[in-house]
Structure 1
Amino acid sequence: MSGHHDSASATDLSTFGYTPQLTRRVGPYASFAAGFSFVSIMTTVFQLFGLGFSFGGTAFFWTWPVVFAGQLMVALCFAELAARYPLSGAVFQWSRRLGGATLGWFAGWTMVIAQIITLAAAAIALQVVLPTVWSGFQLVGSDTAVASKDGAANAVVLGVVLLTVTTLLNALSVRITAVVNSVGVTCELVGIVLLVVLLLVHHERGPSVVLHHTGLDHSTGYAIPLLVSSLMAAYVLVGFDSAGELAEETHRPRATTPRTIVRAVVISGIAGAFVIVAALMAAPSLTDGNLGLLGLPYVLTTQLGTFWGKLLLIDVAFAVSVCTLAIQTAAARMIFSMARDQVLPGSTRLGRVSPRFGTPLLATVVPGVGAALFLVVNIGNASLFLALTSVCIMLLYIAYLMVTVPLLNARLRGRFPAPGLDEDGRPLFSLGRAGMAINAVAVVFQLLMAINLGLPRAEVYDPTGSGWVVHYLPIVVLVLTYGIGYLAYRSKRESYHRACGITLTEKTLAEGEPA
């Protein structure tokens, strides 16, 4: 049956004006894995737990369900779009078809920049884990702290090695990448369950710890430290749209992708909540400063002993690797999708799929090289790199807004396509009458969170007093991103609009959507 469905999906793709180039080798579980591994609870919660606790204390737990609820609204909107537009480069394609060619281009450009920086941030997370597992992984100097001179340099070495491996995997085989991703997600899910159980067994206090505000400095009120603390959850719960990036490689994408997007967010949200509560219950101390400074690795190594602690840290290292692989896959498909529409410099080469490997080779190499170049920044200034990773999450929220805002506008104007049928002959995923309210909540949440992420606060962007550039990095990055982006757009605008005239005429203009 999969051959029949794939043939139907190829015909479906042609209605958007595209000739099938990618091979459909991704099943439902691998599609879910693409979204879940980008979020990667084991990677990001381990990496950022200390950030949340250092500002919000035990009360920072409550920022998690708030951000989860907001992102679930976004995921539901994306699920509707994935059912109607099963195309690689999801955010770019959705924004373009809902808001027009120019908005779509800037959404795609924003995603590419954000994904490349996020890729670097994921790769550097190995430094948090591997030297703790075995001192032999500390190849540069002896200080393993990420913010130290030795740790910063060693993080770059480990990160570049990981990026080399993920680039080779992504370039050489869609199938192998999907299998590694699926195995990695399975190990991560097992690891999360094991982690929660072991932490609960070694608990120092009860679950009521989340009802207290130990460690929360409320001298300026509760709102400000909790808003900063919420950035931890905001950093973690992104990337679920990656399942949509693989739509042209997924069997029965109209039926499969919407559900895997929602499933990735829901499981990540529930699993993350359990990990946070279990860690707060098991922490040796909530007041000695170690939990905010050292985060979850400190809890594991002090409470679980050498064997279980290192076993779980190895699982975290695997999760970091798979997370890096998934982010690079998403970035490659975004670049490929934009290049296919002749919108990027070097589009002809970037939009080419290898007949031997079935992958967009150059589009895969570019984010790997770009992320490695961003990693080099960490050698000279670890605080600047950490600030860059904060900014890239802000860019992701802005890119998401470039989808949900025009989607809300389409609903208000009655121009959002009515649900048709998926590959199984069933109605497409639809929010029905609740769609308008869910969409509106998603827009408001994303706008507020983008502002929260982008405020140039010293405690977030420049805690070490590095200078005004780091302090105001969100503004600097926005100016550079959209300044350079405007020049790039102007250089390719004519060819892009010609491509849009071909790909939009047959399908979307018939539905009354903007070209």
Structure 2
Amino acid sequence: MTTSRPPTTRERPPRDVRTAAHATGTDAGTGTGSAADTAGLAGFGYPQELHRSLGRYASFAAGFSFISVLTTVFQFFAFGYSFGGPRFFWTWPAVLAGQLLVAACFAELAARYPISGAVYQWSTRLSNAVFGWFAGWIMVLGQIVVVAAAALALQVVLPAVWSGFQVIGTDTSPVSPDGAANAALLGIVLLVLTTAVNLLDNKVMSVVNRVGVTAEIAGAVLIVVLLLTHADRSPSVTVHSGGGGSALLVGSFAAAYVMIGFDSAGEMSEETRDPRRVAPRTILTALAAAGALASLLVLAALLAAPSLSDGRLGTDGLSYVLTSRLGDGLGRVLLCDVALAVAVATLAIQTSATRMLFSMARDRALPLSPALARVSPRTGQPPVPALVVGALAAAVLLIAFASPDAWLAIGTTCIVMLYLAYSMVTGPQLLRRLRAPLPPVTDESGAPAFSLGRWGVPVNAAALLYGLAMTVNLAWPRAAVYDPTGGHWYFRWFTLLFLGSALVLGAAFRAFRRAFPS
């Protein structure tokens, strides 16, 4: 048996309810515990349907596991190195600094709007229903493709652990026909498992997430320490060798792919206890910890690699460094930890996309909204969004069977969509801030909630400029990146074509809803 929010034709709570809750800061700041959290959510016009059972570490794990250092560094190290060489290390702290600006803006909003569907809700409440809807639409499409991209990472790890995981053909490279098809097969199996977990009680999902994140952090730290003990060169190699400026811009793709998803702590706000106090901190700590650990992992790999010039780093990446430096036995054990990180990352990203679908659907902003907005009172999970995200991500994986070369274009497109959706929050936030300072709010303990204060305008402006610049960098139609063999012009323009199609489809749906309101 399931329950859902009563039908309504509006797409968001009335403005007077939203601004009253925002301005007073008292809707969830007068006490602690589930009663105050539920009252705070009611102040935004929503009943408490998701089970509020997550603590601070679970909130941190939601953001960290979406970023998933081991998953994404192992998946994209070879790509970044092949373009930027050893100097591509410096793109990691640079991207981390830019993303911390965005995270600081998001932390401020998480303290004021602790609601599921963070990007959609924040953009709507800072601008208007139409702009916020498109931000949510772009975000959820990007998230679904990111789910598929994360599941593909198993191909980088499992065949290196045991050849039996290469079920299709013999070539394990994910860009070969055999490797791409096998990656799709492994990814679909993983999606079946993560969808099943997302249908269980959210406490089960939280336990899996926390255990996985703990194992990932421990494994990443161990890998860094072990590689540093096998280092053959000094950090100066990152300064004196590598590609030029344009190559580094492409090399930054790897770091840009990694350091996204920290907003997941905000996505889980309706399931987090004391979210105004907890979510802002965990957004920032998840990104800072993941970014620092990823940078150290990249540096350690560069210092310990058997060779920087034999071509292996640009093709086999970190798996090659681990097995060659630490031996097959220990290397494979650590790769098993990476495989666990891939599974947990896929689960976290799917959960985040599920919450976005749920949040938009309960505002009657999507097709089949009544079904998508339904929450099981037994599990505290919205089952239909979990099934939809799992099925659509699996469908995206099938593209690997038809065109292995398309995956870089598709993977970049989903990241561009997330960066664009982020800018659709920081942009309205800056405009709102220029008109008047964001009113102060209190957290559940009565203390002042996280705020940028007098640094708000410069930090917000820098975050917006960084986000737009990275969006352009990722989407730029470089033939050397998206069509290296030639003959596939549409791969170069795939991001713009996909984004344009998504906007047209979204506009058509909204026009249909206006003509035939439900």
Query: TM exceeds 0.5?
Result: yes
Amino acid at match of 1:205: R
Residue equivalent to 1:504 = none
TM-score normalised by structure 1 residue count:
0.93
**Residue 463 of structure 1, CA deviation:** 2.0
Residues 1:100 and 2:128 are matched in the alignment: yes
CA drift at 1:466: 4.6
Alpha-carbon offset, residue 492 of structure 1 = 3.3
Question: Is residue 379 of structure 1 aligned with residue 401 of structure 2?
Answer: yes
- 1:354 equivalent in structure 2: 376
Higher mean alpha-carbon deviation, 202-211 vs 7-16, is at 202-211
- The separation in 2 between residues aligned to 1:358 and 1:493, in whole angstroms, is 32
Displacement of 1:142: 1.6
Give the conservation status (yes or no) of the 8 Å contact 2:201–2:378. Answer: no
Cα distance in 2 for residues equivalent to 1:15 and 1:195: 47
CA distance in 1, matches of 2:197, 2:481: 35
Counterpart Cα distance in 2 of 1:493 and 1:264: 40
Separation (CA, whole Å) in 2 of partners of 1:140 and 1:356: 40
Code of the residue aligned with 1:424 in structure 2: it is: S
Partner of 2:24: none
Measure, in 2, the Cα distance between the counterparts of 1:428 and 1:136.
Answer: 52
Aligned 8 A contact 1:343 1:495 in 2: no
Aligned to 1:478, which of 484, 499, 512? 499
Q: Secondary structure at the match of 2:320?
A: helix
Q: Please report how far the alpha carbon of residue 306 of structure 1 lies from its aligned counterpart in structure 2 after TM superposition.
A: 1.1
Q: Residue in 2 aligned with 1:311? A: 333
Deviations 1:445-502 (A, max 9, x none): 0010000011111122222325111121112111111111111222335899x9xxxx
Decide whether the 8 Å contact of 1:26 with 1:249 is kept in 2: yes
Q: Which residue is equivalent to 1:506?
A: none
Aligned to 1:172: 200
1:248 to 253, 262, 270: 270
Is 2:71 the partner of 1:43?
Answer: yes
Is residue 345–residue 492 contact of structure 1 (8 Å, CA) maintained in 2?
A: no
Q: Is it true that 1:434 corresponds to 2:455 in the alignment?
A: yes
What SS class does the counterpart of residue 143 from structure 1 fall into?
coil
Report SS of the residue matched to 1:257: helix
Matched residue, 1:509: none
Single out whichever of 3-12 and 61-70 deviates more from structure 2: 3-12
For the 8 Å contact 2:413–2:498, the answer to whether it is kept is: yes
Return the letter of the residue paired with 1:365.
L
Match of 1:333 in 2: 355
**How far apart, in 1, do the equivalents of 2:340 and 2:484 lie?**
31
1:77 aligns to what? 105
Number of residue pairs aligned between Structure 1 and Structure 2: 488
After TM superposition, list the pairs within 5 Å mapping 1:48-447 onto structure 2.
48-214=76-242, 216=243, 222-414=244-436, 416-447=437-468
How many angstroms does 1:148 deviate by? 1.4
- Write the distance in 2 (CA, Å) between the matches of 1:4 and 1:268: 29
- Partner letter of residue 389 of structure 1? G
Query: What's the offset of the Cα at 1:165?
Result: 0.4
1:20 partnered with 2:54: no
Aligned alpha-carbon RMSD (Å): 1.3
- TM-aligned CA distance change 1:237 to 1:4, over 3 Å: closer
Take 2:114 and 2:350, find their aligned partners in 1: how far apart are those partners? Answer: 20
Distance 2:467 2:363 in 1: 28
Paired with 1:292 and 1:402, the residues of 2 have a C-alpha distance of 35
Cα distance in 1 for residues equivalent to 2:320 and 2:384: 40
Identity %: 54
SS at 1:77 equivalent: helix
Match of 2:27 in 1: none
For 2:489 and 2:355, the matched residues in 1 are separated by 36
User: Counterpart of 2:405 in 1: which secondary structure?
Assistant: helix
**TM-score normalised by the chain length of structure 2:** 0.92
Q: 1:421·1:428 contact (CA, 8 Å) conserved in 2? A: yes
CA separation of 1:188/1:493 partners in 2, compared to 1, >3 Å: closer, same or farther?
farther
Paired AA for residue 487 in structure 1: A
Amino acid in structure 2 at the alignment position of 1:471: R
Deviation at 1:202, TM superposition (A): 1.0
Task: Tell me the residue number matched to 1:511.
Answer: none
| Alignment partners' CA distance in 1, 2:266 and 2:396 | 26
**Alpha-carbon displacement from aligned partner over 1:293-345 (angstroms, at most 9, x marks no partner):** 11111111111101210011000000000000000000000000000000000
- Residue by residue over 1:237-278, the C-alpha shift from the partner in whole angstroms, topping out at 9 and shown as x without a partner, is 100000111000000000000000000110011101110110
CA deviation vs aligned residue, 1:1-46 (integer Å, no higher than 9, x gap): xx95111010011111111111101110010000001011100010
Which moves more between the two structures, 341-350 or 380-389? 380-389
Distance 1:174 1:464 in 2: 46
Q: Give the distance between the partners of 1:412 and 1:457, measured in 2 at CA.
A: 36
Distance 1:493 1:435, change over 3 A: farther
| Deviations 1:28-72, CA, capped at 9 Å, x for gaps | 001000000101110001000111111111111111111110000
Correspondence for 1:448: 469
Q: Quick one: distance in 2 between partners of 1:397 and 1:490?
A: 26
Give the structure 1 partner of residue 17 of structure 2: none
Contact kept? 1:61, 1:210, Cα under 8 Å:
yes
Give the 3-state SS of the residue equivalent to 2:471 in structure 1.
helix
For residue 74 of structure 1, report the CA deviation from its aligned partner: 0.1
8 A contact 1:383–1:464 mirrored in 2: no
Partners of 1:173 and 1:463 in 2: CA distance: 46
The 3-state SS of whatever aligns with 2:203 is: helix
